[in-house]
Structure 1
Amino acid sequence: MKNYINKFYALKMGVALSMVLAMTSCKKDFKDPNGALVADVLKSERGLTGVAVGLQRVYTVGRPGVFFSSITANGFVTNELLLSNAGNIPELQLFTGGSKVDGTNSILTNLWASSNKIIYEADLVISNAANLPDKSYASGLIAYSSVFKALAMGNLAQYWEQVPAGTGKQVSFISRKAGFTKAIAVIDNALSVMTADKISDKFLGNVPKGIDIKNTLYALKARYALFSEDYPLALAAAGNVDLTVKSSFDFDGNAPNPIFDIATSTNNVFQPLNEKLGLTGADVPDANDQRIPFYILFSTKAPLISLKGFGVATATSIPVYLPGEMMLIKAEVLARQPDPGNALIELNKVVTKTAEKDLFKLGAALPELTGNYSQAQLLDLIYKHRCIELYLSGLKIEDMRRFGKPMADRKRNFFPYPLVEADGGNPNVPANPAF
């Protein structure tokens, strides 16, 4: 990320907003007695921008970040990743799976707490931006913050059976499907605001340049509509994403790529499970699939395989979503219809895509699939190519459930609730899932 992230985040810290909005524990109680200070910060464009840009930092940077916690938890329990050091106890618990994963796991606690922190702070930006006189600047604040609020809500709904209905010490819980629906509502509100008032260039000049806000909102809408099995909505939203426009989290030396910084550069946390990305049977990648050398670096010395792809260097960008994800959403929605005729057309866009024609240089470059496929065969192929195309995106566990994969293929189905939630005095915390 660029220096303006640090500038605005420093502003946030400099006015003691970190104390006002920080988690004093890992609970969802973010209040601070200094109410006058936070009120002043939340009245100005500059203060609100500082909070908004801070959302991206909480989501992306370091081991506590939502992104790294998400791909780590998902990667271990879905067999994408191999543990490099058994001395890393939280990672060992997830790699082992089953009952070894409990409410004390710090990776899950980080994922839970940071997601709720983002939701809380995004709400502050969204509600207070509406009071600004410059509606075009306010539109940017609302839409940009909504991206991270939706991502945070989506992550919670992917990993837990029930999710908080809001923020607070004794918050109630709703179903994960309702969580996805709420994330979509956040996105729809942002799109409506953007339609009413075009985001100003002034705002765009004050936030990281990597994220294309409009396309990202539609992409996330398509993702969460698919996860909630609202297939017509998913198809429509995916069709609204301009696949010629890149949207990414950008990094630099001040805010390094978290995969490289924590895992790739040290070889001390995780590596790919194997050259097949942990896939077995009919899901094993084709021998000539060029996505394998994209994601995996092969060597003649230990480690023989290591992560490449979106974790190869300090400044490597990470996509917020991949164009291939939108193609695969379309393919899946069509394949689930009574007449799945056009699904193969969409699937082949991913199968035949070359690196030269992909925004992130990710392409299978395989021959076109031909012939007649049953609905079940099409869905099996779509699942396989989602596993490869979207490797280490944090989405595989959701796919395994949606495609009805055997429980034996994963080490957890849902995660236990962090103990800090129940220990914080919330009587509404649901019972932990058996697996």
Structure 2
Amino acid sequence: MKNNIKFFIICISLAFGVTSCETDFDNPNAATEDQTFNSREGIFAAAVGLQQLYSTTGLRWIVETPAVTTREGGITTTFQNMIELEDGGTSLPNFNSNVQGLWSTMLRVIKIAEDIEASASDIELEAGTQSGLIAHAKLFKAMAIGSLAQNYEQVVVQTSNNNDAVFVSRTEGFQTAITLLSEAAAQLSANAASSEFINGITLGNLDLPNTIAAMSARYNLFAGNYDAAISAANSVDLSSTSIFAYDSQNLNPIWARVIQNDAPNFKPRDNFGLPAEFVFDAADGRLAFYLVALDETNQNGLPIEDISGFFDESTEPIPVYLPDEMNLIIAEANLRSGTPNLGAATTALNEVLTDTDDPFGVNADVDAYAGPNTAADLLNEVYKNRRAELFLTGVSLEDSRRFGRPEPSGAAMNYAEERNRNFYPYPDLERNSNPNTPADPSI
């Protein structure tokens, strides 16, 4: 199976290219798409490859790119792509490799997921294996679309073989992701994932029903569907965990960028990259969990620390989501609803602040909230705790915009700004091949 998976990944890299269109290569030795997706072995290899692509290359771009933009991380390299990201502003080029990598990898994930979903029903499989494959594909397609919608103003939600994929608003992107997650949940409700699927694909690392609900909560919050976000978050079993697992052939992608070969590309910022107005209790366990004191600055004078948490070992697993994200979603959604429920929001927030038994060990373990009992003050506290709890999980740019943090000026090399972009420009690889590519955002 391992050789099949490796061969499959090579094939999809060639067959699907790096934009929303496909490029045909005449390779007589490559498996055809029909051969890949029309057998049990082929579709299992595709599903494993999908998960592997997202959790390695994909997660690198998902985490690293907005981390530098929003000051979660400070660069420690002279590679031009990282310099461009930290400089930011309107001059960030369309050919920046992070801008291109995030876009193209998510589109590759979407394409593979579409092919798995289209083919699974045509192969003779156990009902629970078929439903598991389809739900798994829908989940990863939803997460890929969601990752695009967090970082680009308009997104592609359906790939095209004809270089003409349609762009939709990021809000519609989130709604598409939510629909996919609802469909995935319905698949599993009708036929629970089989042992064959679990043993062959997720290996017990991914709790599909809870992960689907958690992502539904996340994207409903981002889309402004607050009641739905609360309902989905409440349905997640907070004792359950889902992880991306790594091994010697597939390394933890953040470790590889920050620690490998003692040649870091970036390091975490102190205070989780937040300005001094956000003060953490010195006893907050998340400081020691994620950060190791360094007392240094990077080449642009930004204070940096060494990294810990889920990123200090080459094969350390990374959570797909953190349980307390659900409490923070409940708190924020209650505050943003038409009739804010300050009591429910405070209760959920305190679950995070006083946590001592997080399954992953991310425990603030500090006193309950004692600040002003206003929606504005509570939202500020939620933002602060999202930054600490969800550090380097890829949501920082979405959060910075949603919480109305100061707008970037558009000037490059203004390192005092909390974020240096609102959205990323569309990669020139997409623009040069797809006539539907929109104009770049102003900043």
Q: Same fold (TM over 0.5)?
A: yes
Kindly indicate whether the alpha-carbon contact (under 8 Å) linking 1:28 and 1:116 is maintained by their aligned counterparts in 2. Answer: no
Q: Deviation at 1:30?
A: 5.1
1:261 to 256, 262, 275: 256
- The equivalences for 1:2-401 within 5 A come to 6-10=2-6, 12=8, 17-18=11-12, 21-23=15-17, 25-29=18-22, 31=24, 37-61=32-56, 65-85=57-77, 87-133=78-124, 134-168=126-160, 169-209=163-203, 210-265=205-260, 266-274=262-270, 276-299=271-294, 305-337=305-337, 338=339, 339-354=341-356, 357-370=357-370, 373-401=373-401
Q: Deviation at 1:100?
A: 3.1
Identity in percent = 33
Q: Deviation at 1:290?
A: 1.1
Most deviating of 160-169 and 297-306: 297-306
Provide the rounded CA distance (Å) in 1 between the counterparts of 2:296 and 2:104. Answer: 39
Q: Deviations over 1:5-58 (max 9, x none)?
A: x45513525xx74366341x5453155668983213312221111111111121
Give the TM-score normalised by the residue count of structure 1.
0.92
For 1:248, the aligned partner's letter is I
Give the paired residue count: 420
The DSSP-based 3-state class of the residue aligned with 1:297 is strand
Provide the rounded CA distance (Å) in 2 between the counterparts of 1:372 and 1:407. Answer: 26
Q: Deviations over 1:185-243 (max 9, x none)?
A: 11111111111111110111001331111111110111000000100111111111111
- The 1:267–1:406 alpha-carbon spacing in structure 2 relative to 1, beyond 3 Å, is same
Q: Deviations over 1:280-304 (max 9, x none)?
A: 1432322221101110123589998
Give the TM-score normalised by the residue count of structure 2.
0.90
Q: Deviations over 1:73-109 (max 9, x none)?
A: 1111101111101x21111111111023120101111
- Which residue matches 1:411? 420
The DSSP-based 3-state class of the residue aligned with 2:359 is coil
The DSSP-based 3-state class of the residue aligned with 1:233 is helix
Unaligned runs of 5+ in 2: 299-303, 409-417
Provide the rounded CA distance (Å) in 2 between the counterparts of 1:191 and 1:173. Answer: 26
The DSSP-based 3-state class of the residue aligned with 2:288 is helix
The DSSP-based 3-state class of the residue aligned with 2:272 is coil
Provide the rounded CA distance (Å) in 1 between the counterparts of 2:224 and 2:355. Answer: 27
Q: Deviations over 1:382-404 (max 9, x none)?
A: 11100111111110111111111
Large movers: runs of 4+ above 3 Å? 16-22, 30-36, 299-304
Q: Deviations over 1:327-383 (max 9, x none)?
A: 1001111122323221101000000112xx111111111011236511111111111
For 1:227, the aligned partner's letter is F
